[in-house]
Structure 1
Amino acid sequence: MPPVRPSVPRLVLLATGTLLLTGCTGAPGADGDGRTLVLSLNQTESHPSYIALTAFGDRLADRTDGRWDVEVYANETLGAQQEVVQLVGDGAVDMAVASGTQLENLNADFRTLNLPTVFDDIEHQLDVINDDAIVGELFTSLEESTTLTVLGGLTQGARNVYTAEGPVERPEDLNGKKIRVQESDIHIDMIEAMGGSATPMAYGEVYTALQSGVLDGAENNEISYLSQKHNEVAEHMALTEHLVGLDYVVMNTDVLEGMSPEDRAVFEEEWVTTSEQHAELWTTETIAAIEAAEESGTVFTAVDEAAFDAALAPVVDKYLETDDARKLYDDVREAAQQ
Structure 2
Amino acid sequence: MKSIVKLLASTAVALIAGMTVAQAQQVTLRSAEVHPDGYPTVEAVKYMGEIVNRETKGRMGIKVFPSGQLGDEKDTIQQTQFGVIDMNRISMAPLNNIIPATRVAALPFLFRSVDHMHKVMDGPIGDEILASFEQHGLIGLAFYDSGARSFYNSKRPVKSMADLKGMKLRVQQSDLFIDTVKAMGGNPTPMPYGEVYSGLQTGVVDGAENNWPSYQSSHHYEVAKYISLTEHAMVPEALVMSKRSYDKLSKEDQQIIRKAAKESVLKMRELWTAKEKESEAIVVKAGVEVTKLSKDEFEKAVEPVYAKHVTDAKMKDLVARIRAVQ
TM-score range, shorter chain: 0.7 to 0.9
Answer yes or no: is the 8 Å Cα contact 2:159–2:228 preserved in 1. yes
Answer yes or no: is the 8 Å Cα contact 1:106–1:142 preserved in 2. no
Give the Cα separation in 2 of the matches to 1:270 and 1:50: 15
Distance 1:43 1:330, change over 3 A: same
Matches within 5 A, 1:1-338: 35-131=27-123, 133-144=124-135, 146-256=136-246, 259-335=249-325, 338=326
Cα deviation for residue 84 of structure 1 reads 2.7
Cα deviation for residue 212 of structure 1 reads 4.2
Aligned amino acid, residue 125 of structure 2: I
- Tell me, what secondary structure is at the counterpart of 2:95? helix
Give structure 1 stretches of 5+ with no counterpart. Answer: 6-28
Aligned amino acid, residue 118 of structure 1: L
Cα deviation for residue 102 of structure 1 reads 3.0
Q: Deviations over 1:244-283 (max 9, x none)?
A: 1332122133543555555444432321221222122112
- Tell me, what secondary structure is at the counterpart of 1:116? coil
| CA RMSD, Structure 1 to Structure 2 (Å) | 2.7
Distance 1:291 1:246, change over 3 A: same
Answer yes or no: is the 8 Å Cα contact 1:84–1:96 preserved in 2. yes
Answer yes or no: is the 8 Å Cα contact 1:94–1:255 preserved in 2. yes
- Tell me, what secondary structure is at the counterpart of 1:245? coil
Identical amino acids, percent of aligned pairs: 32
Cα deviation for residue 189 of structure 1 reads 1.3
Answer yes or no: is the 8 Å Cα contact 1:4–1:35 preserved in 2. no
Answer yes or no: is the 8 Å Cα contact 1:96–1:249 preserved in 2. yes
Give the Cα separation in 1 of the matches to 2:248 and 2:118: 27
The structure whose Rg is larger is 2
Deviates more, 1:60-69 or 1:295-304: 60-69
Distance 1:78 1:233, change over 3 A: closer
Give structure 2 stretches of 5+ with no counterpart. Answer: 1-17
Cα deviation for residue 51 of structure 1 reads 0.8
Distance 1:45 1:206, change over 3 A: closer
